[in-house]
Structure formats: C-alpha cells, structure tokens
Copies of this chain bind each other. A is one copy, B any other.
Amino acid sequence: MKRDQAEELKSLQDTLYFIGGKWRIPVINSLCNGNRRFREIERSIPGITTRMLSKELKEMEMNKLVKRTVYDDSPVTVEYEPTEYCRTFGNIIMEMINWGRDHRKFIQKNKE
C-alpha cells in the first residue's frame, strides 16, 4: 500500500493538537496509574500547579477523557477516573517513556 503522506501528517497533527501542552500527557499517565483524588494526581506530577491541574482536568472532562464523580460524604469527596478513550493514549505514552529512558541511558553512557 502506498503511504499517503498528507493523510499521515493530518493524523499526526490531530494527535499533537489533542495532546497540546506539557501537562495533558502526564495527567493522563497519572490517572491511568490509578490516581483518583485531586491531591493524589497533583502530588504525582512534580512541577504542576494547582491552577494548571484544575484547568487541565476541566478541559479533559469536557473532552470526555475524564469522568468526575462527586461523592456525598462528609466532607464531600471528588474522584477523577480515566475513560476508555483516555486509555487509548497508552501506546503513545509507553513509546514516550521508552524514548526518554533510552535517551537518558545514551546521555549517561556518553558522559562516562
């Protein structure tokens, strides 16, 4: 099958647009690792601010990446759960982790 470069680029750019920014992927990763409460997610991502995480989760809820559930306990608790759709980023995240790991090994080797 002949590769359609224009179609490939469009697919690639759609994905990049969806991933947008530096926090979306770490937040998806944190949710897929089982973190559910706001503070848990926040603590799992050093460098993210409360404001940025809040904004990210709101956008992800609108985009059906995250399901937000309010439990009527006392005090009220809120949980964030990744949707099936959110989990479709698994392969991209895995490849990114692999790349980062290989890259670090490569840098360390060149230092020795």
Binding site for B on A (CB under 8 A): 5, 7-18, 22, 25-26, 29-30, 33, 44-46, 88-89, 91-93, 95-104
Contact = CB atoms under 8 A, between A and B. Distances in A.
Contacts of A16: 22, 25-26, 96
A12 B88 contact: no
Contact of A92 (B11, B17, B88, B99): B99
A17 B10 CA distance: 22
A12 B27 CA distance: 11
A15 B92 contact: no
Contacts of A102: 88
Given A8-B29, A45-B9, A88 B95 contact: no
B88 A11 contact: no
Contacts of A91: 95, 98-99
A92 B96 contact: yes
26 contacts: A9-B26, A9-B29, A9-B44, A9-B45, A10-B100, A11-B96, A11-B97, A11-B100, A11-B101, A11-B103, A12-B25, A12-B26, A12-B93, A12-B100, A13-B100, A14-B100, A15-B99, A16-B26, A17-B22, A18-B100, A88-B99, A89-B99, A91-B98, A92-B96, A92-B99, A95-B95
